């Protein structure tokens, strides 16, 4: 019955088919189907993107300078990363160089997103897979306070009275019978392992993080005017700097810079005193549950991001690592070239799209997006009432991107694996310290928990990088440079008749790139290959399964009808379905 995929997984479609749809606590709409054997182990996994909006179709014929605004609306969670990627693609196509200050401001904004997204993901989208808020009612506030002081001595909110207040509030909430977002959770499932005190501490931080997170994004409100969906421009940033003189009050001035600086400090404190300690504490209690590695120990990909100096997108100048690791060989990090037609290609044999020849993949510059919804012959149900999908046919709105034919995992863990494999000093230190704190071997990294931990470590590192670019920004202003935009090529009349470019970034969920072709000042083709397109990819012609599907394989589930383990592992990728299909 079982077949082996080229990327090394044994698929067995016997057993009970369990469907999770909607798969919640993610961005967008996703469905998951697994086959669970009598041993309660997952032997086959199918993940499906269940939405499509057609941004690539909508972008055709538009002004390339507007593309950031459209692509930004691909996602309001990783908001801004598409916009940044888009202006980079246009700047690449038109050979526009941005000022250093614009680079620093963009980096600060992008780093804010990383930190915010990671934090909100952990507390509000992921924590309930590990933490049981109902169980928190049984906690002793005094013991909770002691636990808090032990795991994070610097966090000021740690008194027994504080935890008692939160617990009382929680109690009133639960007793009201209106459980709100906690309704119908799997609260008596044995998969939850935390003692009540840890549950109370983490639930308290769920609320603290909810109250705090908007603070992080204020940097983007200052530089971009609003958030989600701040404003960007091709050629730099829209916010002018004026720290001294007439009208400075209406620009980025000392007060605004202090504001940003203060936000960076508060953010760093929260990440270091709440987020990181929680990850270590929860990780310690769950370190026996090391499922979910999937592709992370085999094939990972990172494009890199956060250019130290403006306009240099070479790996050496990027502070987030770039490279590919394949076949689990950490000794070799392959260079990645987004322009090479042989490296990145998208396939659609199992996606709801049409290619003239579906046996071949297309490099995104030549990519096409033609929707084509149809269920396979073995699907159960009807066109508008899917009971079970047929994964041997088309089954997802996500395309299947491949790097030199390999299905790849992207994201914080991929970045950390690439960083580790390439001997990146800071990243290696962070990883080693965490492994030591949890007392686990390096292999533990390739797991659901590893993904969750890498995200937290990255958030912490991003805080430090933010400080670095803030200092850099101020140093340049001090040196007399307050330029924020290059307008030489603003006017479309200065553009060549035809041009093409690629822009990339590391979005919170992983490697992101946009490919653009410009013709007669209008967008001729625009293709996005997005982190969750990689991770949520369906199968390809060869039968390789994507990162989501791979990660679920061989996982033991306590109660097949209560999909906590499936949620836990899929959530560890922080899936974004609006992104994946766009």
Partner 1 sequence: MTETFYEVLRRQGISRRSFLKFCSLTAASLGLGPEFVSTMANALETKPRTPVLWLHGLECTCCSEAFIRSAHPLASDVILSMISLDYDDTIMAAAGHQAEAIVDEIIEKYAGNYILACEGNPPLNEDGMYCIIGGKPYLDQLKKAASNCKAIISWGSCASWGCVQAARPNPTQAVPIHKVIYDKPIIKVPGCPPIPEVMTAIITYIATFEKLPELDRQGRPKMFYSQRIHDKCYRRPHFDAGQFVEQWDDESARKGYCLYKMGCKGPTTYNACSTTRWYGGTSFPIQSGHGCIGCSEDGFWDNGSFYNRLTNINQFGVEANADEIGLATAGVVGAAVAAHAAVSAVKRARTKGGNE
Q: Does 254 bind partner 1 (CB under 8 A)?
A: no
The answer to whether 217 touches 119, Cβ cutoff 8 Å, is no
Q: Does 238 bind partner 1 (CB under 8 A)?
A: yes
Q: Is 181 exposed, middle or buried (0-12, 13-18, 19+ CB in 10 A)?
A: exposed
Of 76 and 492, the one with the shorter C-beta distance to ligand SF4 is 76
Among 24-32, 286-294, 357-365, 437-445, the segment contacting partner 1 (CB under 8 A): 24-32
Q: Does 191 bind partner 1 (CB under 8 A)?
A: no
Among 72-80, 329-337, 341-349, 490-498, the segment contacting ligand NFV (CB under 6 A): 72-80
* Total residues binding ligand SF4 (CB under 6 A): 2
531 binds, among ligand NFV, ligand SF4, partner 1, none (CB under 5 to 8 A by kind): ligand NFV
Give the containing element (helix H, strand E) for 371.
Answer: none
Facing residues of 345 across strands?
402
The one among 201, 241, 302, 550 contacting partner 1 by CB under 8 A: 241
Distance, in Å, from the CA atom of 204 to the CA atom of 443, rounded to the nearest integer, reads 31
The answer to whether 516 touches 89, Cβ cutoff 8 Å, is yes
For residue 419, what are its two tokens?
């960083």
Q: Does 8 bind partner 1 (CB under 8 A)?
A: no
Distance, in Å, from the CA atom of 528 to the CA atom of 201, rounded to the nearest integer, reads 40
* Total residues binding partner 1 (CB under 8 A): 104
Residue window 99-138: x/- pattern of binding to partner 1, with contact defined by CB under 8 A: ---------------------x---xx--x----------
240 binds, among Mg ion, partner 1, ligand SF4, none (CB under 5 to 8 A by kind): partner 1
Q: Does 530 bind ligand NFV (CB under 6 A)?
A: yes
Give the shortest CB-134-to-partner 1 separation in angstroms.
10
Crossing angle (nearest 10°) for helices 425-438 and 276-286: 50
Footprint (CB under 6 A) of ligand NFV, residues 80-139: 81-82
For residue 455, what are its two tokens?
């995200």
CA distances from 47 to 25, 396, 553 (A): 15, 8, 12
Q: Is 255 exposed, middle or buried (0-12, 13-18, 19+ CB in 10 A)?
A: exposed
Distance, in Å, from the CA atom of 5 to the CA atom of 295, rounded to the nearest integer, reads 12
The answer to whether 330 touches 417, Cβ cutoff 8 Å, is yes
How open is the CA angle 216-220-221, to the nearest 5 degrees? 100
Q: Does 570 bind ligand NFV (CB under 6 A)?
A: no
Kindly give, in sequence order, each residue whose CB lies less than 8 Å from that of residue 98, ignoring residues fewer than 6 positions away: 91, 106, 235, 236, 310, 311, 485, 486
Beta strands in 167-278 (DSSP E): none
Q: Does 73 bind ligand SF4 (CB under 6 A)?
A: yes
The helix/strand/coil state of 402 is: strand
Of 203 and 296, the one with the shorter C-beta distance to ligand NFV is 296
279 binds, among ligand SF4, partner 1, Mg ion, none (CB under 5 to 8 A by kind): none
Q: Does 211 bind partner 1 (CB under 8 A)?
A: yes
Give the shortest CB-62-to-Mg ion separation in angstroms.
16
The answer to whether 544 touches 496, Cβ cutoff 8 Å, is no
DSSP 492: G
The answer to whether 81 touches 505, Cβ cutoff 8 Å, is yes
Footprint (CB under 6 A) of ligand NFV, residues 22-51: 27
- Nearest residue relative to ligand SF4 (C-beta): 73
Distance, in Å, from the CA atom of 305 to the CA atom of 84, rounded to the nearest integer, reads 11
Q: Does 252 bind Mg ion (CB under 5 A)?
A: no
Of 234 and 530, the one with the shorter C-beta distance to ligand NFV is 530
The one among 8, 13, 19, 193 contacting partner 1 by CB under 8 A: 19
Among 42-50, 150-158, 491-499, 520-528, the segment contacting Mg ion (CB under 5 A): 520-528
Of 230 and 412, the one with the shorter C-beta distance to ligand SF4 is 230
Residue window 466-505: x/- pattern of binding to ligand NFV, with contact defined by CB under 6 A: ----------------------------------------
**SS3 per-residue string spanning 68-80:** HHHHHCCCCCCCC
Quick count: other Cβ atoms within 10 Å of Cβ 159?
Answer: 14
For residue 434, what are its two tokens?
């965490």
* Total residues binding ligand NFV (CB under 6 A): 17
Q: Does 528 bind Mg ion (CB under 5 A)?
A: yes
Q: Does 178 bind partner 1 (CB under 8 A)?
A: yes
The answer to whether 515 touches 527, Cβ cutoff 8 Å, is yes
Of 197 and 506, the one with the shorter C-beta distance to ligand NFV is 506
Distance, in Å, from the CA atom of 48 to the CA atom of 269, rounded to the nearest integer, reads 38
Q: Does 76 bind ligand SF4 (CB under 6 A)?
A: yes
Of 29 and 402, the one with the shorter C-beta distance to partner 1 is 29
The one among 465, 470, 512, 567 contacting ligand NFV by CB under 6 A: 512
Give the shortest CB-537-to-ligand NFV separation in angstroms.
11
Give the shortest CB-50-to-partner 1 separation in angstroms.
4
Nearest-10 Cα torsion for 210, 411, 451, 563: 70
The answer to whether 397 touches 53, Cβ cutoff 8 Å, is no
Kindly give, in sequence order, each residue whose CB lies less than 8 Å from that of residue 41, ignoring residues fewer than 6 positions away: 554, 555, 556, 557
Of 77 and 274, the one with the shorter C-beta distance to ligand NFV is 77
528 binds, among partner 1, ligand SF4, Mg ion, none (CB under 5 to 8 A by kind): Mg ion
Q: Is 573 exposed, middle or buried (0-12, 13-18, 19+ CB in 10 A)?
A: buried
Q: Does 57 bind partner 1 (CB under 8 A)?
A: yes
Distance, in Å, from the CA atom of 580 to the CA atom of 582, rounded to the nearest integer, reads 6
Give the shortest CB-121-to-partner 1 separation in angstroms.
11
Of 245 and 441, the one with the shorter C-beta distance to partner 1 is 245
Q: Does 508 bind ligand NFV (CB under 6 A)?
A: yes
Footprint (CB under 8 A) of partner 1, residues 67-106: 69-70, 73-77, 79
Contact residues for ligand NFV (CB under 6 A)? Answer: 27, 75, 77-78, 81-82, 507-509, 512, 530-532, 576, 578-580
Contact residues for Mg ion (CB under 5 A)? Answer: 528
């Amino acid at each position: 019955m079982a077949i082996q995929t080229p990327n090394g997984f044994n698929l067995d479609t016997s057993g009970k088919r369990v469907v999770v749809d909607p798969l919640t606590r993610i961005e967008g709409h996703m469905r998951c189907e697994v086959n669970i054997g009598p041993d309660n182990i997952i032997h086959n996994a199918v993940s499906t993107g269940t939405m499509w909006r057609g941004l690539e179709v909508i972008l055709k014929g538009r002004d390339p300078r507007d593309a950031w605004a459209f692509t930004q609306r691909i996602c309001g969670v990783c908001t801004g990363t598409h916009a940044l990627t888009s202006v980079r693609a246009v700047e690449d196509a038109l050979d526009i160089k941005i000022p250093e200050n614009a680079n620093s401001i963009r980096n600060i904004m992008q780093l804010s997103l990383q930190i915010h997204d990671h934090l909100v993901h952990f507390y509000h989208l992921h924590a309930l897979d590990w933490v049981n808020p109902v169980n928190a009612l049984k906690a002793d506030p005094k013991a909770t306070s002691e636990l808090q002081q032990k795991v994070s001595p610097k966090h000021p909110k740690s008194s027994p009275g504080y935890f008692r207040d939160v617990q009382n509030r929680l109690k009133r909430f639960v007793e009201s019978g209106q459980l709100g977002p906690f309704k119908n959770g799997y609260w008596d499932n044995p998969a939850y392992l935390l003692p009540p005190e840890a549950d109370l501490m983490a639930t308290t931080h769920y609320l603290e993080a909810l109250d705090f997170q908007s603070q992080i994004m204020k940097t983007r409100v200052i530089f971009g005017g609003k958030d989600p969906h701040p404003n960007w421009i091709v050629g730099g940033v829209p916010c002018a700097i004026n720290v001294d003189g007439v009208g400075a009050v209406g620009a980025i001035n000392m007060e605004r810079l202090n504001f940003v600086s203060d936000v960076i400090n508060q953010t760093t404190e929260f990440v270091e005193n709440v987020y990181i300690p929680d990850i270590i504490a929860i990780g310690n209690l769950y370190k026996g549950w090391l499922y979910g590695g999937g592709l992370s120990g085999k094939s990972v990909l990172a494009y890199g991001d956060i250019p130290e100096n403006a306009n240099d997108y070479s790996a050496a100048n990027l502070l987030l690592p770039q490279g590919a690791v394949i076949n689990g060989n950490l000794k070799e990090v392959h260079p990645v070239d987004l322009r090479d037609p042989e490296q990145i290609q998208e396939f659609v044999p199992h996606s709801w799209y049409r290619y003239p020849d579906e046996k071949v993949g297309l490099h995104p510059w030549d990519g096409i997006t033609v929707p084509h919804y149809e269920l396979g012959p073995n699907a159960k149900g009807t066109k508008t009432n899917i009971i079970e999908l047929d994964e041997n046919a088309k089954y997802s709105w996500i395309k299947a991107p491949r790097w030199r034919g390999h299905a790849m995992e992207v994201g914080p863990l991929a970045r950390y694996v690439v960083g580790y494999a390439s001997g990146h000093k800071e990243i290696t230190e962070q990883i080693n310290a965490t492994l030591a704190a949890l007392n686990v071997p390096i292999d533990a990294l390739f797991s659901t928990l590893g993904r969750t931990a890498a995200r937290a470590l990255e958030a912490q590192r991003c805080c430090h990088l933010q400080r670095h670019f803030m200092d850099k920004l101020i140093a340049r202003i001090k040196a007399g440079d307050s330029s924020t935009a290059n307008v030489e090529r603003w006017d479309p009349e200065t553009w060549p008749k035809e041009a093409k470019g690629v822009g990339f970034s590391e979005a919170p969920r992983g490697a992101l790139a946009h490919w653009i072709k410009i013709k007669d000042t209008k967008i001729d083709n625009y293709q996005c290959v997005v982190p969750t397109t990689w991770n949520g990819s369906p199968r390809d012609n060869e039968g390789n399964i994507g990162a989501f599907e791979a990660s679920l394989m061989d996982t033991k589930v306590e109660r097949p009808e209560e999909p906590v383990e499936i949620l836990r592992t899929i959530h560890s990728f922080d899936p974004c379905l609006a992104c994946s299909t766009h």
